[in-house]
Each structure stands twice: as C-alpha cells, then as structure tokens.
Structure 1
Amino acid sequence: MLIDYHTHHVRCGHASGELEEYVRRGIELGLAQLGLSDHMPLLHVDPATYLPGMAMSKEELPRYVEECILLKEKYKEQIDIRIGLEGDYIEGYETEIESIIQAYPWDYVIGSVHFLGEWDISDHRQLAGWERRDIYEVYEQYYDAVSKAARTGFYDFIGHIDVIKRFGYKPDRDPWKLEKAALDTVKEQGLAIELNASGLRMPCEEMFPSRRLLEYCYAQGIPLTIGSDCHQPERLAQYLDLAAEQLKEIGFNEIATFSARKRTLVAF
C-alpha cells in the first residue's frame, strides 16, 4: 500500500509543477493513493508584505479545489486521488480557518504550525527570527501552538509535528516534555500524525518526527500516515520507502488513510 498524502504544487508559490504532473508521476510510481494537499491561503499576513511565494492566494483556492475534483474523476481508473489541504493553524484566526475548512469537500485537512505570529519558522529566508531568542522558549511556543491546533477539531492529522527542528536549532534542554505533551494532546483528541520524510533533505537530516516520537506514538496507539512533502513532481514519494521501513521496524503494520474526513487504517 504505497501512498503519499503531503504534496504541493505551483499555486502555493514556492513549489513547481502543475497538479496533473503530480498525478501522472503518481501513476508512474504506482501509488495506490495520492493526496493533493496544498497550503491554505495565509489569513494573518497582509498580502502586500508577503515574501515571494509564501502562499496560495485566496482567489486561487476555489480553482485549486475544482482542479482536484476534475483530476480525481479524470484519473479514477488509474489512481485514487484524495483532496486535501494543509491548513496552517494561526492562533486568533480560528473562525477564518474553520470557514475555509467547512467550505470545501476535503478528504482530509493537515494541521500544521509554520507561523509563530508573523514569523514563519519553516522559511529559510526568515532565519534571523532565531537571533536573540531563547531556543527553548521558541520550542515552548511552537509546541503550545501544536496542542492548540489539535484541540480545535479542524484537522484530521498533524503535519511534521517536530518541524521546529528543521534548521538544526537545538535548545539547551531536552524538549521531550514539550514533544510528549503535544503528542498526548493528539492522542486525547483522537487525531493521527504524519511521518513526513522531507526532513531527510533538510539541515536537521531527520524525518519529522524523530524515531523517539514515533516509538511513543506506537506505544500510545497514535495512528500514522506518511507524506513526502514534495514541492516538485520528481520528488513525489521521495524517501517514503525509508519512512515505511522505519515504521515497520518500530512495529507499525497499518497506516491511516482518509476519505470525506473519515479515517481508515490499512495494512502496508
């Protein structure tokens, strides 16, 4: 059962390739399911101050969904397309986020934290944001936002739950207490998380989440899905063989899939 539930395309501004290119690549790779999951438009940043390629425009969102629906029908005999959204959690904008989620027929919505205020902690162009900050306090703020995202009820799974480590900034204390609290909230809310393989090509050189967090998920019965977080068609399913291998080593034998916001565990 080969799936990829985390993909991006040209509309988000920092990826390349049309949606149909990803679909054709998925067929070529023999994916059983392909999740199209581009970024939600930003709600809290004035478009006039966007850095180039920060997000899909609000005007493009309905066009994105329409194209996903058309491709799902066009290729239904060749690949099972699931229509998704990576819905940034922005504290204070819950009403606006909920309205977007309720407006479209998603198969799943990924809950991801990229922003602490207007600072995108995942953007290589904003590394100056780390300067003069206590790294542990940034981790505290980040994991608090992840827990709040999980409690909203908006999301089906949490994306790259420890992406805060992406650029290799490590606190002077073990952040396990913070990580565990976030995972405990995921468990309490009945959510899944993803094993996002893209960390292997990042400065942290480790998937999101770390093996320690995966082992805790297994012990607690937190379901996992997998995604490449690719931003180019040629990277579709990149490292997912390694992701699946690691899950098997830990003991997982099922992965979470989603349709019409309902989760199904399937053997892999």
Structure 2
Amino acid sequence: MRIDYHTHHVRCGHASGDLEEYVVKGIEIGLTQLGLSDHMPLLHVDPETYLPGMAMPMDELPRYVEEAFRLQQKYKDQIDIRVGLEGDYIEGWEKQIEEIIRAYPWDYVIGSVHFLGEWDITDYRQTDGWKERDAYAVYEQYYDAVVKACRTGFYDYIGHIDVIKRFGFKPDRNVEHLENMALEAVKAANMAIELNASGLRMPVQEMFPSRRMLEYALKLGIPVTLGSDAHQPERLAQYLDEASALLQDVGFTDLATFKVRNRQNVPIGFE
C-alpha cells in the first residue's frame, strides 16, 4: 500500500499542475491511493486585497470537487483516488468552515492551522511577522488553535501539526508541553495526524512532526497517515520513502487511510 494524502494543484494559486497531471503521475510512480486535498477558499481575509495566490476562489470549489470525483471514476481501475480538502481552522469562523465541509461528500478533511488571525505563519512572504512577536507566545497561540481545531469535530486528521517550526523560528524555552497538549487533543478527538514529509525541503529541514512527537503519538495510540504536500506533480510522494522508514523505526506498523470520512488502517507499504 503506497499512499500520498496531501497534494495541491493549480487552483490554489500557489501550486502548478492540474488534478489529472497528479493522477497520471501517481499511476506512473505506483501509488495505490492518491489523496486530492486542495486548500479551502479564504474566508476571513479579502482575497482581492490580501497577498495573491493563497487559496482557490470560492467559485472554484464546486468545480474542484466535480473534477476530482470525475477523475476518481475515470481512473478507478488504475489508482484509488480519495477526494479531500485541507480545511483551515480559523478561530471565530467555525460556522463558515463547517458549512463548506458539510456541503460536499469528502473522503477526508485535513485540519490545518496556517493563520493566526490574518497572519499566515506558513507563508514565506510573511516571516517579518516574527520580528514583532515573542516566539514563545506565537507557539502558545498556534498550539491553542490546533487544540481548538481538534475540538470542532470537523476534521479527520491534523495536517503538519508542528508546522509552526517551518522557517526555523523557535522560542528559547521548551515547548514540548505545548506539542504534547496538541497530540492529547488529537487523541481525545479520536483523530489521526499526518507525517508530512515536505519539511525536509523547508528551512527547518525536518518533517512535520518531529520524531519526538511521533514517539509520543505512538505512545498515545494516535494513527498516522502520509503526505508529501506536493505543490508540483513531480514532487508527488517526495520523501515518503524516508517518512515510511522513520515511522517504522519509531514503531508504527500501519497507516491511516480514509474513505467517506471513515478511517481504516493498512500496513505501511513504502520501502
């Protein structure tokens, strides 16, 4: 079983390649399951005045879903396509997020925290935001948002749970208790997390989450899935061999997969 559940496409504004290019690439490299999971449209900032290329326009969302399910049928004899959404958690916008999630028959929804207010902590164009903030306070706010995302019941798993470290900005105080708090919230919500391999190509040069967090997730009995977070077709499944090896070294034997919002564990298949 070879899977990649985290991918982005041209509709989101900051990726290249259409959905079918990813499907064809997935078949070429021998994926068993391919998750299509583009970003939810922006809700809390004006896309006309905010930085360009943050997410798909709202009127593209139904087209994305329609195309994804069409491709699922077209290629059903060659690859198992799962149709998902990376649904940002934005505090104060829970009602609008829930409306989007309930409007479509997703196979899975990723709960990711990118925004703290109007600041996207994952955007390389916004790293100056760290200069005016205390790093520990940012980590506290971030992990508090992850906990609140878990409590909504909207999501099937948390994406790149420690992505706050992406650009290498870290407090001078230990944050393990914040990380553990987030993982405990995942467990309490009966959710999974992903091992997102894209961190290896980021300034932090470490997957999301860290090995320490994976070890605590295993101790808690939290299921884990795999995602490359590819934004170009050629990066599909990038570093997932290394991610699979890390999971097995930590002690995981299964991966979480999702269909019509139901989770099923399958043996780890990357080698």
The amino acid across from 1:123 in the alignment is D
Give CA-to-partner distance per residue, 1:61-81, whole Å, 9 cap, x none. Answer: 000000001000000000000
The amino acid across from 2:22 in the alignment is Y
Equivalent residue, structure 1, for 2:148: 148
Equivalent residue, structure 2, for 1:251: 251
The amino acid across from 1:89 in the alignment is Y
1:234 alignment partner, SS class? helix
What pairs up with 1:1-268 in 2 under 5 angstroms?
1-268=1-268
How far is 1:226 from its partner? Answer: 0.4
Root-mean-square deviation over aligned CA pairs: 0.5
Runs (5+) with no aligned partner, structure 2 = none
The amino acid across from 1:68 in the alignment is A
Give CA-to-partner distance per residue, 1:240-266, whole Å, 9 cap, x none. Answer: 000000000011110000000000001
In the alignment, the residues of structure 1 paired with residue 4 and residue 24 of structure 2 have an alpha-carbon distance, to the nearest angstrom, of 13
How far is 1:47 from its partner? Answer: 1.8
How far is 1:48 from its partner? Answer: 1.9
The amino acid across from 2:85 in the alignment is L
1:146 alignment partner, SS class? helix
Question: Where do 4+ consecutive residues of structure 1 move more than 4 Å?
Answer: none
Number of residue equivalences: 268
1:49 alignment partner, SS class? coil
Structure 2 length-normalised TM: 0.98
How far is 1:49 from its partner? Answer: 1.5
Give CA-to-partner distance per residue, 1:158-209, whole Å, 9 cap, x none. Answer: 0000000000001010110100000001001100000000000000000000
How far is 1:50 from its partner? Answer: 2.2
2:66 alignment partner, SS class? helix
Give CA-to-partner distance per residue, 1:10-58, whole Å, 9 cap, x none. Answer: 0000000000000000000100000000000010001221211011000
2:195 alignment partner, SS class? strand
In the alignment, the residues of structure 2 paired with residue 84 and residue 50 of structure 1 have an alpha-carbon distance, to the nearest angstrom, of 25
How far is 1:132 from its partner? Answer: 2.1
Structure 1 length-normalised TM: 0.99
In the alignment, the residues of structure 2 paired with residue 11 and residue 42 of structure 1 have an alpha-carbon distance, to the nearest angstrom, of 13
In the alignment, the residues of structure 2 paired with residue 47 and residue 135 of structure 1 have an alpha-carbon distance, to the nearest angstrom, of 27
Which stretch shifts more, 255-264 or 49-58? 49-58
Runs (5+) with no aligned partner, structure 1 = none
2:190 alignment partner, SS class? coil
In the alignment, the residues of structure 2 paired with residue 249 and residue 177 of structure 1 have an alpha-carbon distance, to the nearest angstrom, of 24
In the alignment, the residues of structure 2 paired with residue 146 and residue 23 of structure 1 have an alpha-carbon distance, to the nearest angstrom, of 31
The amino acid across from 1:174 in the alignment is N
Which stretch shifts more, 41-50 or 185-194? 41-50
In the alignment, the residues of structure 2 paired with residue 88 and residue 81 of structure 1 have an alpha-carbon distance, to the nearest angstrom, of 22
2:39 alignment partner, SS class? coil
In the alignment, the residues of structure 2 paired with residue 66 and residue 245 of structure 1 have an alpha-carbon distance, to the nearest angstrom, of 35
Which stretch shifts more, 129-138 or 45-54? 45-54
